[in-house]
Amino acid sequence: MQIILSLILNALALIVTAYIVPGIQIASFTTALLAAIVLGVINTFIKPVLQLITAPLTIITFGLFAFVVNAVVLFLVSAVVPGFTVNGWLPAILGAIVLSIVSTVLDSLLKDLGKLKK
């Protein structure tokens, strides 16, 4: 149940990100769910390799290059998922920032709701 809820929250975060950032489009909620699944897989398997390869650049830029890595991940998702498009580097970097903020807010709200239940 937790995985399904997390998947739905990530899809909502993608939809909010597409609404806020011009240059990112999502065709439907189903597309957002598929993009959330692909994003989770890429974050699990490919992103750690990208982070390892780009670690020197990330250290030199005091962590700012991590935004570029996150933008690359969004580009990879848009290449795999039809109906999810990212039009350029600036929308990808802004989208990565907004997506992380929205995901954090939604996750904290979910945890707060879980505390209220107990």
| Torsion angle, alpha carbons of 25, 29, 32, 33, to 10 | -170
pLDDT value, residue 62: 96
Give me the residues of the chain with pLDDT under 50, please: none
pLDDT value, residue 6: 87
Q: What is the per-residue DSSP string for 64-78? A: THHHHHHHHHHHHHH
HEC profile of 9-25: HHHHHHHHHHHHCCCEE
Query: pTM of the entire structure?
Result: 0.90
pLDDT value, residue 114: 72
What's the farthest any 2 CA atoms get from each other in the chain?
A: 45
pLDDT value, residue 26: 97
Beta strand pairing status for 24-26 and 84-86? antiparallel
pLDDT value, residue 112: 77
pLDDT value, residue 66: 94
